[in-house]
């Protein structure tokens, strides 16, 4: 049976500064702590889904108002819950569980669930400026993006641009880079990709005051 290394204890210590930066600035960029083996398997999975046409165009809006608008959002996605289990998926979810525990312990955010999907932007695709929290639902609290592009080079495009008070910050989508930011306040966009750009995108959700909001 194929196995993957567990999320290392040293990487857990690396998560504490993430909580500090979220508290102070609302965003953080760090290395995920996942092994090259895990990152390679996740990248392979995402690109295999794309090549087999198992990714679907992402929509914008909620419920009955959802629309596919490639000029606004051009990525193709598949929720991890809809993918076969794998050791790499388990290692990634373990890392996210550690991050959730760290944020709850240090920032008292009340995060109780995590939703995530693969996302691939083909050449020419991007995502216009937006925030991740829906107006009618306050549950998405912290956004997380893990990049899976082992061959990314300057000029390939697809950077995450965070629109911050001091000006824009561009995050290169290199494999292993982890971007974490508050879902309700950090305006961001994905710059146009010039080659296929792969990632895992997720959101920590807080416990609802009203259970019907789930």
User: Poorest-confidence range of 5-14, 78-87, 146-155?
Assistant: 5-14
Backbone angles phi, psi at 204, to 5 degrees: -85, 130
> Quick check: 129 pLDDT over 50?
yes
Which DSSP string corresponds to the chain?
A: ----PPPPHHHHHHHHHHHHHHHHHSEEEEE----HHHHHHHHHHHHHHHHTT--EE--BSSGGG-B--TTTB--EEEEGGGSPP-HHHHHHHHHHHHHHHHHHHHH---EEEEEEEEEEE-TT--EEEE-SS-TT---EEEEEEEE-BTT--TTSB--EEEEETTEEEEE--BTTEEEEEETTT-EEEEPPBSS-EEEEEEEEEEPPSSGGG-
User: Poorest-confidence range of 38-47, 108-117, 127-136, 167-176?
Assistant: 127-136
Burial bucket for residue 115 (CB in 10 Å: 0-12, 13-18, 19+): middle
Percent of the chain with pLDDT over 90: 81
- pLDDT value for 196: 97
Exposure on the CB side of residue 125, measured as CA atoms within 13 A: 19
- pLDDT value for 16: 85
pLDDT single digits (tens) 73-89: 999 999 999 999 999 99
- pLDDT value for 12: 64
Higher pLDDT, 61 or 151: 151
Q: Tell me the two tokens of residue 38.
A: 């895990």
pLDDT single digits (tens) 152-161: 999 999 999 9
- How many Å apart are CA 109 and CA 107, to the nearest integer? 5
- pLDDT value for 103: 95
């Amino acid at each position: 049976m194929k196995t993957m290394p567990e999320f290392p204890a040293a990487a857990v210590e690396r998560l504490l500064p993430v909580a500090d930066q979220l508290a102070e600035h609302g965003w953080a960029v760090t290395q995920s702590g996942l092994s090259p083996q895990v990152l390679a398997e996740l990248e392979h999975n995402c690109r295999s889904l794309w090549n087999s046409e198992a990714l679907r165009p992402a929509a914008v809006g909620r419920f009955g108002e959802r629309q596919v608008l490639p000029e606004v959002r051009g990525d193709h996605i598949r929720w991890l819950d809809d993918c076969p289990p794998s050791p790499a998926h388990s290692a990634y979810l373990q890392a996210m569980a550690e991050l959730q525990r760290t944020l709850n312990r240090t920032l008292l955010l009340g995060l109780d669930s995590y939703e995530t999907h693969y996302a691939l932007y083909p050449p020419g695709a991007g995502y216009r400026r937006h925030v991740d929290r829906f107006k009618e639902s306050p549950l998405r609290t912290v956004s997380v993006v893990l990049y899976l592009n082992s061959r990314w080079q300057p000029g390939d495009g697809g950077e995450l641009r965070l629109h911050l008070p001091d000006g824009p910050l561009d995050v290169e989508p290199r494999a292993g880079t982890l971007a974490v930011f508050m879902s309700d306040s950090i305006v961001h966009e994905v710059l146009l990709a010039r080659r296929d750009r792969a990632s895992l995108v997720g959101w920590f959700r807080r416990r609802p005051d009203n259970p019907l909001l789930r």
